[in-house]
Amino acid sequence: MPNIYNLFISHSWSYFDTYDRLVKLLENDSYFSYQNFSVSRGSPIHTSGTDAELYQAILNKMKPCHIVIVLAGVYASYSKWINKEIRIAQKEFFSPKPILGIKPWAQLRVSQVVQDKSDDLVGWSTDSIVSAIRRLSI
């Protein structure tokens, strides 16, 4: 089990508040250390280059990660890039990256795509999320 978990958090910037809340949840657990390899909101990856260059940039960011986290809001089913990130995690590495789906806080419905592709799907709870990261990253 790693001491510091390398995470790629897949998300839609149209729903950045959910991403920000998740990062705060992880930061508030004093017994959990991680590095965030996600594409930040201000990254030029979003606005420059071709789809192929963006795909390669995401692959490169995901490469050192122990796990890929996907926020399972219903928007994820319709996101071109979240679906591509799931594909990268499952198909582009010698061993597929485990995928953890997280049900967004206060939402009853989740993305069927994320539900089907996740190795585990947990609720919006720091303990559940951290436990799943530790379990899947072994």
CATH number of the domain enclosing 32? 3.40.50.9200
68 strand-pairing partners: 8, 99
Which residues 6+ apart lie within 8 Å of 53 measured at CB?
none
Counted domains in the chain = 1
Q: CB burial class (10 A; 0-12, 13-18, 19+) of residue 135?
A: middle
Q: Looking at residue 78, what is its pLDDT? A: 53
Domain extent, residue 13, equals: 5-136
Cβ atoms < 10 Å from Cβ of 3: 5
Find out whether 69 and 7 touch, Cβ atoms under 8 Å: yes
> What are the tens digits of pLDDT across the range 40-96?
666 656 566 788 888 898 899 999 999 999 988 755 545 678 889 999 999 999 999
pTM: 0.90
Q: What is the DSSP letter of 117?
A: H
How many whole angstroms separate alpha carbon 12 and alpha carbon 69?
12
